[in-house]
A and B are shown apart, each in its own frame.
Chain A
């Protein structure tokens, strides 16, 4: 089944404790992206990658890191999480390098709480 998977689905952590949210897609997509969803704000892009070893900042990259060492994986790293990073996170992927017609497919989401 073609899908985007994320782990963990739920995470409660404390301020300053490094964490990684994994994202994997099995559709051989080139483009991958991370978004965060906050009430009343919709989804905002954190980082994106147009291909292996190519990553770039989105609208809200502060406090986050990503890597793209393999085509299928795009982990999101929070080196020192803070309470304002409490949010619902989505990974997404699409076939092309973000071309206008490409549909982005989303993972199930990771609900992160930072205490």
Chain B
């Protein structure tokens, strides 16, 4: 069965520092991976995805993610965090038979001034 794990419930970082939100996956076959962000009282917004090709994927709002096949990871990164990046982040893997996204449990990112 396919699954995604986000090992940290919360990540705290100071503004201006680099941030990493971790995600590991378990799939049979090729992984198709996504990151979404949810701001308070808002829907999910797409950040980036990995389908194939370059292991470093660049997305919206200065975020990027590194796909690592040997470690089965897809960590979200940003070189310099902003207070406005504070939100709930979800990693997901696509189930190709049904099209559904299988989500991790989410990681709350708190960026402090």
List residues of chain A with CB under 8 Å of any chain B CB: 4, 31, 33, 35, 40-45, 48, 50, 56, 58-59, 90, 92, 94, 97-109
Count contacts on B: residues with CB < 8 A to the other chain.
24
Q: Which residues of B contact A103 (CB under 8 A)?
A: 34, 46, 49
Q: Which residues of B contact A101 (CB under 8 A)?
A: 32, 49, 51
Q: Given A41-B105, A42-B104, verify A98-B98 contact (CB < 8 Å).
A: yes
Which of B36, B44, B46, B51 has the most C-beta atoms of chain A within 10 angstroms of its own C-beta? B44
New contact pairs (11) apart from A33-B99, A35-B103, A101-B32, CB-CB < 8 Å: A4-B43, A40-B105, A42-B105, A42-B106, A48-B100, A58-B100, A98-B94, A102-B99, A104-B34, A106-B45, A107-B43
* Docked-complex contact B42 and A99, CB < 8 angstroms: no
List residues of chain B with CB under 8 Å of any chain A CB: 4, 30, 32, 34, 36, 42-46, 49, 51, 90, 92, 94, 96, 98-101, 103-106
* Docked-complex contact B98 and A42, CB < 8 angstroms: no
* Docked-complex contact A106 and B44, CB < 8 angstroms: yes
* Docked-complex contact B32 and A45, CB < 8 angstroms: no
Chain B residue at minimal CB-CB distance from A103: B46
* Docked-complex contact A48 and B98, CB < 8 angstroms: yes
Report which of B46, B92, B99, B105 forms a contact with A99, defined as CB distance below 8 A.
Answer: B99
* Docked-complex contact A45 and B100, CB < 8 angstroms: yes
15 contacts between A and B (CB under 8 A): A35-B101, A42-B106, A44-B103, A48-B98, A56-B98, A98-B94, A99-B99, A101-B49, A101-B51, A103-B46, A103-B49, A106-B44, A106-B45, A108-B43, A109-B42
